[in-house]
Amino acid sequence: MKKVVALLFIVALAVLLLYVVANMPPMGDPENPTATHVISRYLERAEEETHTENVVTGVILNYRGYDTMGEVTVIFCALAGVLAVLGRERRGVIHAFVDRSEVPSSVIVKTMVRFVVPFIILFSVYTILHGETSPGGGFQGGAIIGGSMIIFTTIFGLYESSRRIPLKVRASLEGAAVMGFFLVGALGLLGGGNFLTYAWPRVARSLQPSLVVWLTVLVEVGVGLGGAMVLISILFAMIREEEEIAPAP
Amino acid sequence: MGAWRHFPIFMITLPLLGAVLLPFLGYARERWVPYAALLPLGTSTLLGLLLMGRIPADGFLSYHLGGWEPPFGIEIRLDYVGLFLMLVVCGITFLALVYSRRYIGKEVSGGQRTAYYVLYLLLSGAMLGFVATGDIFNLFVFMEILALSSYALVAITGNRNPVRAAFKYILMGAPSSIMVLLAVGFLYSATGTLNMADLARRIAESGYTEVLIVSYILLVVGFGVKAALFPLHMWLPDAHSIAPSPISALLSGLLVEVCAFALVRITFSVFTLRSSDLVMGTADAVGVAAVAAVLYGGIMAILQKDLKMMIAYSTVSHVGYIFLGITAFTAEGLTGAMYHMLDHGLAKACLFLCAGNFIYLKGYRRIEDLKGAWSQMPWTCFAFALASLSVIGIPPTAGFISKWYLILGNVKGGKWLYAVVLLAGSILAAVYCLRVIYYMFFQAGKEGAWEESWRDAPPAMLAPVWTLSLATLFFGIFSSLLIPSLLKAAAYLL
């Protein structure tokens, strides 16, 4: 009975959604409401107004920066939720990593990971810092750092990886994204604008482009570091410590 | 234009910033965390009170974030009704936070306490941002924060039952979030904008009626789940009764109402009534669901053996009240709904905190255990009784005022049947509340259930409880402070 009701509900929802899709404005039509209203200003004037060549970055960090501030708060909130239920990883009792997988990772894999991870992190720094000129930005760069640590942890275990990024570092950087946004927002107020104004009215016009770029980079770095640390902390919290404790000699 | 223009953004961001900074204090001095958490919420309350006189009942404060004029940037659009609800949120979150220190100190183990306060501040800040925003995608973002933090707060003790209740909550909550997100996407595809005021204009002239209809339905269902409207309420009784009591107070007293308010916004500010018959048609369905909610919630509350479960079902019933006020489409009905958000918030928070007192001191959860509670915990019992009167709607409590306007609004809107249902709901409320009061005051307790020594909850827990219960009395007697402005604001919204 329950299954039938659930199935009916899903079918009804699917029909409803397909009905919308069938009636939506045609994809890619230049006459679409999405192509004619706010987007035209973003495309035409984003570069001079937000001083970022990448329009997407201009929109998410500047025009709609408040939403992004909310989104990074969501990420922080996810971490707080995980830590509230699972607690922080307890590194003190971990002695060594025991590889219990059926096929233990070979020397080749270990060497490759050791070799590749620094380059991945270097690439993420590039992604973060180039966010305002090319595709990329804080979210992507942070995710890349997180991904590199996931690779490292699967091969070398929690002990090795949490030694490289100690709890102190992570704990103090987890809120970096939200704090970066709040800092830029509050500075905007001091500069005579509204919250999250990048181009401060009190600053001379000629200085504004470089000011906006610096503030954008600041936010990007905050988002990148904060996002990366949150991902890594969530990963560490989810690894169950029993698997990590070395057997008694 | 002075500095007060910036107050709303500070009311929203200070709790969020506080949430990010608290862990640092948590590592250094964990004992201070509960006090430090009060700071941002207290400041927000203060700023809200300072704003109170500045926003006219028939106008709004528009704040452009980043200086970008809407629809290009995000707008905070705070009208009188919004500010009113923000103040309710600030006040109740502040009081429940005061209460939390002792209660959480006992219920939640050491390492998790800081996480509790972090999530608490995130939830409060998200509710404030949710109410104030004038941008539909921003509404979704804040809904995500408040949903995520409330899932985690339900599960915070990490025991089996809370985690299960939280999981049930997520199973209902996550699809509802997706529905809202889809609806926002559909609306954007049909109009090309996300700003609510701009959406209202462009919806009126948009040709994509089918897309608009489905997005409205998705929004109603999506927010309906979060607001626990009758057939979508299944998560509520478990989550609200199993969560730690201050969190139950927040979820029951504020969260469902804030989500109901989002629907008010969507209905009156985005899909303006004039735009189509669509709103009216959906409103009929919502009205029927609300009637069912009032009766079902009331009857289920009578059947419960667990005190917090009973209060949770009472919330299901009262959500129905709020929706009946909204669907009346009269200024009186909307005023009643808004005032009900205030007095239901106060009374429900008070009831849950009283139930928390019993759990804190005695570990008693069942209603039967409360027989003769009066002899040992008179303060808690009297506060419970006073808040119950407001839930039932007996003058001079605030519950009477709101029910009066709800009934008046429905009668004026020609919905006599709904008015009768509202009265019936009050009778049901009287049955389930008076049963508890009867047990507390007029029945002898079991042998050994209450010791001879006279020991009520500590003052740090009684003070918030009594502030809440006296507030229901205050807003009942001095309803003229708010009602005229609310009537005007409601007429403006319509």
CB A246 within 8 A of CB A96: yes
The number of beta carbons lying within 10 Å of the beta carbon of residue B451 is 10
Query: How large is the ipTM?
Result: 0.91
Alpha carbons A174 and A228: distance in angstroms, whole number:
8
Radius of gyration of chain A (CA): 23
- Please tell me which residue of chain B has the smallest CA distance to A180: B17
Token code pair at residue B402? 């709101």
Hey, are the CB atoms on B19 and A63 less than 8 Å from each other?
no
Hey, are the CB atoms on B190 and A25 less than 8 Å from each other?
yes
Q: Measure in Å the smallest separation between the Cα of B129 and chain A Cα atoms.
A: 9
Q: What DSSP character marks residue B374?
A: G
Hey, are the CB atoms on A33 and B189 less than 8 Å from each other?
yes
Q: Measure in Å the smallest separation between the Cα of B121 and chain A Cα atoms.
A: 10
Average pLDDT, chain A: 84
Hey, are the CB atoms on A37 and B215 less than 8 Å from each other?
no
In order along its 494 residues, chain B shows pLDDT tens digits of 578 888 899 999 999 999 999 988 888 888 898 899 999 999 999 999 998 888 887 888 889 988 888 888 899 988 888 999 999 999 999 999 999 988 888 888 777 888 899 999 999 999 999 999 989 999 999 999 999 999 999 988 878 888 899 999 999 899 999 999 999 999 998 888 899 888 888 888 877 888 888 888 899 999 999 998 888 888 888 888 889 999 999 999 899 999 999 988 888 888 876 556 777 778 888 889 999 999 999 999 999 999 999 999 999 999 999 999 988 888 899 999 999 999 999 999 999 999 999 888 888 888 888 888 888 888 889 999 999 999 998 888 898 999 999 999 999 888 888 999 999 999 999 999 999 999 888 887 776 666 655 677 888 889 999 999 999 999 989 888 888 888 888 888 87
Domain ranges, ordered by start, for chain A = 63-244
**What are B366's strand-pairing partners?**
B306
Q: Which of B203, B207, B195, B214 is nearest to A31 (CA)?
A: B207
The pLDDT, as a whole number, for residue B273 is 61
Token code pair at residue A201? 């009215």
Summarised one tens digit per residue, pLDDT across range B77-130 is 888 889 999 999 999 999 999 999 888 888 887 778 888 999 999 999 999 999
CB A53 within 8 A of CB A207: no
Helices (H), chain A: 2-23, 33-36, 38-50, 55-57, 65-86, 107-129, 138-164, 167-173, 176-190, 208-238
The number of beta carbons lying within 10 Å of the beta carbon of residue B473 is 17
| Cβ-based contacts of B125 with chain A (< 8 Å) | 73
Q: Tell me which residue in A78, A179, A194 faces B148 most closely, judged by beta carbons.
A: A78
| CA angle (A118 as vertex; A114, A119 as ends), nearest 5 | 115
Token code pair at residue B210? 């089918």
Look up residue A139 and give its amino acid: F
Alpha carbons B396 and B268: distance in angstroms, whole number:
31
| CA angle (B261 as vertex; B330, B205 as ends), nearest 5 | 70
Q: Which of B399, B421, B400 is nearest to B410 (CA)?
A: B421
**Greatest CA separation for chain A:** 73
Look-up of token digits 């970055």: A57
Helices (H), B108-159: 110-132, 136-154
